[in-house]
Amino acid sequence: MKTTNTDVCIVGAGPVGLTAANTLRALGIRVRILDRKSSISPFSKAFGIQARTLEMLNLIGALRPFLKEGFPITDAAVQPEGKRPSNASFASLDTPFPFMLMLPQSDTEHILKKQLREVGQFIDWNTHCKRITQYSDHAEVECATENGHELIRASYVIGCDGPHSTVRENMNVSFPGGKHETIYFLGDVTVEGLSLSNDISTFITERGVAAFFPFRDEKYRVITIDHAEQNREHRDDLPLEDLEKSVRRITQQPVHFPHASWLSQFGTSHHQADAYRDHRLFLAGDAAHLHSPFGGQGMNLGMQDAVNLCWKLAWVLRGHSHPALLDTYEEERYVVGRRTIRMTNTAMQVMTRSHTLIPRLLANPVSILSKSNSLQRQLTQRLANIDISYQNRASLAKFQHQGEMIPAGSRAAPARVLTTEGEHADVMDFLHIQQFTCLFYIEDEQELHQLDESIQEVRRQYGPSILILVVQRKGILRASKPNIHHLFDYRRDLAVKWKLPTFSAVLIRPDGYVAFAEQPVRTGRLMRKIHTALYQ
């Protein structure tokens, strides 16, 4: 049997596995990617990329083609029967990407696959993971390929192989949950007979729910929950006329779909693995958590799982961190998965009730939501995943502080700055998956002189592993040097949004979350905290 070696073996070449591979390759880690399919599926399946996922793609250097190919949606309109439409908007979100990017899953996979190919990484299609054996210092993956059997020795294995995960079976981890008694109709179609904008449009009536999601080229993803089509087993096939009848019944409009590129009907379920890790084996995406499609969360959570896990794997594999760092993957991501399952289950229960009161009950909260900036902001932040925080996790408790400074585990939100060249930029522009970032926040040149010892010590001990940003409120900026950027907080974003006092420092992880904030800066204490954050 042929035997090969790699750092990380990724089982599953969907969006989650391909994101994991791109992240690891950006960090210089060797990978193998296995998938039992023969190629990328032509069907779109998931289709909405949320703001936080776009931020993550930016961190790993993979964003640009997504913005080029995708269709940004800033607003969602809900039309309860007999009521005025209510709107929720992503436009005011505090992110560089205040929209949902509509892009078929197949296109997402092709983009990620192309970027891997550009760095010489290929996918092992038609490769079935049969058995995984763990040892103290590696795992062995036995595969069936087109050319026979192969044994892959890897330091770690990531199961991105979906609800029926082979990796999870080899971990002997249970996948408790339940089935949703709901049948969905789905079609990627062109639409006539219904006035639609370039935003998400959802019709809610006593007969069901019909939602329209625009793609490029005047195509729409249409999804219905038709109360007349429930309480039966779903079939895989869906005739186009059945979808048309369903939408007409729900909306009471003379809808016609001249062309369909994909039609399907399906049911959903909700599950979460009891554990995301077993020694050298990890689960991500649908292999770890499964829920209803409400809010377009599934693929996004999986891709964010991959980034969270893979920067940690890279730091451990390169000897920069203790293997205990890997325990924080499950600690951080399990709670996020559980929260999403609860949210989508609640939404499902409300949206699928067929009683005639439901549209009326929905109409008032939706109307209130459209009029309340605070509630609308909470909803859109949650859907966009920019409200995800790890600040209550036990591993970060030692880094929490008294006061209002940005807490450990918080997302490093956008903060506008000026460069030494007088150009507008954002702190987010400097963050990258390859480095931690240490941001020093000062009043002026006098405080900069006082912090020189700390800045130089970080630079001396950690070199390119930590990017240094020195941001001051006033005075003259020094010229930037390699791995040290001097910036001006001209809008006081760091003072207001991050609540930073001067003479403070913030360490930001490679995935864009805060490791800790410190004030006042003392060189010895700062270096001890950095060491703990990197080598925990």
Where is 26: in which H helix or E strand? Answer: helix 15-26
Cβ count near 381 (within 10 Å):
19
Is 323 found in the same domain as 416?
no
Is 400 found in the same domain as 323?
no
388 within a domain of the structure (yes/no): no
Specify burial of residue 329 (Cβ count, 10 A radius: 0-12, 13-18, 19+).
buried
Of the residues 324, 352, 380, which one is the last residue of a structural domain? 352
At 357 the pLDDT is: 45
Confidence of residue 364 (pLDDT cuts 50, 70, 90): low
Report the 3 state secondary structure along 379-426: HHHHHHCCCCCCCCCHHHHHHCCCCCCCCCCCECCCCEEECCCCCEEE
221 within a domain of the structure (yes/no): yes
CATH number at residue 189: 3.30.70.2450
The count of C-alpha atoms lying within 13 angstroms of the C-alpha of 487, restricted to the half-sphere facing its C-beta, is 28
Distance between CA atoms of 457 and 523, rounded to whole angstroms?
Answer: 8
At 218 the pLDDT is: 85
Mean of pLDDT over the chain: 92
CA distances, 116 to each of 19, 26, 109, 472 (Å): 10, 10, 11, 39
Is 283 found in the same domain as 237?
no
CATH number at residue 311: 3.50.50.60
Is 146 found in the same domain as 39?
yes
Distance between CA atoms of 377 and 368, rounded to whole angstroms?
Answer: 13
Share of the chain above pLDDT 70, in %: 95
At 353 the pLDDT is: 62
99 within a domain of the structure (yes/no): no
Is-cis flag, bond preceding 501, omega within 30?
A: no
Is the pLDDT confidence value at 47 over 70?
yes
146 within a domain of the structure (yes/no): yes
Is the pLDDT confidence value at 355 over 50?
no
Is 295 found in the same domain as 149?
yes
Structural domain boundaries enclosing 426? 394-535
Is 285 found in the same domain as 262?
no
Share of the chain above pLDDT 90, in %: 76
Contact yes or no for 200/222 (Cβ under 8 A): no
Is 490 found in the same domain as 422?
yes
Contacts of 402 (CB under 8 A, 6+ apart): none
Q: Which two tokens stand for residue 184?
A: 């969905």
Confidence of residue 393 (pLDDT cuts 50, 70, 90): confident
Reported pTM: 0.94
Contact yes or no for 410/92 (Cβ under 8 A): no
CA distances, 388 to each of 396, 398, 413 (Å): 15, 20, 11
Q: How many domains does the chain have?
A: 3
Is 524 found in the same domain as 496?
yes
Question: Among 269-278, 393-402, 481-490, whose mean pLDDT is lowest?
Answer: 393-402
Is the pLDDT confidence value at 370 over 70?
no
Where is 202: in which H helix or E strand? Answer: strand 200-205
